[in-house]
Structure 1
Amino acid sequence: MNNTFSPNKQIGVVSTFSELVHTDFKGEMNALCWYRNLDGDFKEIVNQLSLKENITEVFPKDLIALQVSEKGNIARETILNDLQLLTDFGASPSLNLLKCYERDDEFDFIATDVYSWHVDRSPIATDTFLCTYHGAASDIVPNSEAEQKIAIPEIRAKLKELHNGPEEEFEDFLKENYFDLHYQLHENAQPINLGQMHLWRLAVDHPKQQVQPCIHRAPKENEGEYRLLLIC
């Protein structure tokens, strides 16, 4: 499986890592894709790795220790190269074998887990990089097709009840609990699946950001299938 998508105003498509990291976001474009058709057997890698918890970090030494076929070795070399490229760029990539993320079911009217449509925020200028090598892939959606949940009157009213404090502290309360990062899609929204093997760069909310942060979510995992995800 290697999903394809139609080019649009939100997504820029590049053909090298250098283009991926040096192309500026602008206008409505807040997602960049290094589009790749890779030949490796990533499923073989996943089948040989051991899941110790719902999310297990996989290190280069773990990959190097695997006994794999020629196709498996191509997959391994691809992953190791991606980790090295990102590390050399100054990022801190993590390779995760995952069964599922933790769900946030504390409130029935708003969730703050990664399965909810959300944006990432950072105090420093940075971006989110991710690549799904195996399993279900993440989704993004144009900012024009979603709205902040805290702007929806009924949700905002419930959050004010939950806050139960001075009005002037309400906005800080929303930020401290990450409620302001989460979005609800419009009825006609058309999410875009990021597919497997492509390396993505998504815009993050930070003080120097020139574009809107990219709204995205983790997918519901496929039954009986682990995801192999690079993220930083």
Structure 2
Amino acid sequence: MTNPFSGNTQIQVVSTFSELVDANFQGEMNALCWSRNLPGDFKEIVAKLDLEENITEVSVEDLLALQLSEQGHLAREIILKDMQLLTDYGASPSLNLLKCYERDDEFDFISTDVYSYHVDRSPIETDTFLCTYHGAASDILPNDQVEQKILIPEIREQLKQLHEGPETEFERFLEEYFFDLHYQAKTDAKPVNLGLGNLWRLAVDHPTQQALPCVHRAPVESDGEYRLLLIC
């Protein structure tokens, strides 16, 4: 089967979890993909879980309590193994059943929700891991195909009007309210969809990062279809 990510300089494809966590981000490469074609019925798991809010965190106990078919059991074992691998690595994986994320509609000239292209930032060395088992999957973009929203003149001007403090504190204001983390796709941008079943490791903006942080966004969910997402 042809790998859909081959030839993409932003993405390095690996075949094991150890390769995923041991590789170093460098140059244009800021996204690592453990490419997988997973067996099992993840849709059955989604159908049997209870959505309590728009986002419901699913515990290991919740998963183990489900009465599943053979294919559903296979899917559950894969999720549990992924969670254990990430936990053993030192991460804190969260399995989420998602109807939708909260929308940011406070300002009509800039959006800062996860549906907007953005990067993750951390004060300590860390990475973002994610895997979509069911539903719509996230997109990423190369850094040369986006423009930081705060550098777009008309947006920057409106942010300056929003900021009521001295000009010397403007940049700190942009960071404090996370405006600087968001990006706009250029007109010729070609998003890469992360697909189902692949476990991804994305570069985060932190003090020792050697590569540019990975620009990504959450997908607009399909009508009536929940997402099952592992993230940390």
Alignment of 1:121-160 (within 5 A): 121-160=121-160
**Residue matched to 1:102:** 102
Within 5 A, what are the aligned runs for 1:74-85?
A: 74-85=74-85
State the alpha-carbon separation in 2 of the partners of residues 76 and 156 from structure 1.
Answer: 47
Q: Deviations over 1:131-176 (max 9, x none)?
A: 0000000000000000100000110000000002201000000000
* Structure 1 partner of 2:9: 9
- Show the counterpart of 1:73: 73
Structure 2 SS opposite 1:140: strand
- Whole-angstrom distance in 1 between the partners of 2:4 and 2:136: 14
Q: Match of 1:39? A: 39
Residue 229 of structure 1: aligned partner: 229
Deviation of 1:222 (Å): 0.3
Match runs of 1:183-222 below 5 Å? 183-222=183-222
Give the drift of 1:191.
0.3
AA partner of residue 104 (structure 2)? D
Post-superposition CA distance 1:173-207 (Å, at most 9, x none): 00000000000011000000000000000000000
1:4/1:195 contact within 8 Å kept: no
Q: In structure 2, what is the Cα distance between the partners aligned to 1:219 and 1:132?
A: 11
Superposed counterparts of 1:49-60, under 5 Å: 49-60=49-60
- 2:89 aligned residue: 89
Q: Distance in 1 between matches of 2:133 and 2:104?
A: 26
Cα distance in 2 for partners of 1:202, 1:66 equals 31
Give, as a single letter, the amino acid of the residue that structure 2 aligns with 1:103: R
What residue identity is the alignment partner of 2:59?
A: F
Distance 1:7 1:48, change over 3 A: farther
SS of 1:109 mapped into structure 2: coil
User: What is the CA–CA distance in structure 2 between the aligned matches of 1:115 and 1:38, rounded to whole Å?
Assistant: 26
Using the TM superposition, give the Cα deviation of residue 97 of structure 1 relative to its aligned residue in structure 2, in angstroms. Answer: 0.1
Q: Describe how 1:14-29 pairs up with structure 2 within 5 A.
A: 14-29=14-29
Whether contact under 8 Å (1:55, 1:98) holds in the other structure is: yes
Structure 2: gaps (5+ residues): none
* C-alpha contact 1:202 1:213 (8 A) present in aligned 2: yes
Q: Normalized against structure 1, the TM-score is what?
A: 0.98
Match in the other structure for 1:111:
111
- CA–CA distance in structure 2, aligned partners of residues 193 and 187 of structure 1: 17
Q: Is the 1:141–1:191 Cα contact (8 Å) retained in structure 2?
A: yes
In 2, Cα distance between equivalents of 1:205 and 1:181: 9
Write out the 4+ residue segments of structure 1 that deviate beyond 6 Å after TM superposition: none
One-letter amino acid of the counterpart of residue 33, structure 2? C
Structure 1, gaps ≥5 residues long: none
Q: Please report the TM-score for the alignment, with normalisation by the length of structure 2.
A: 0.98
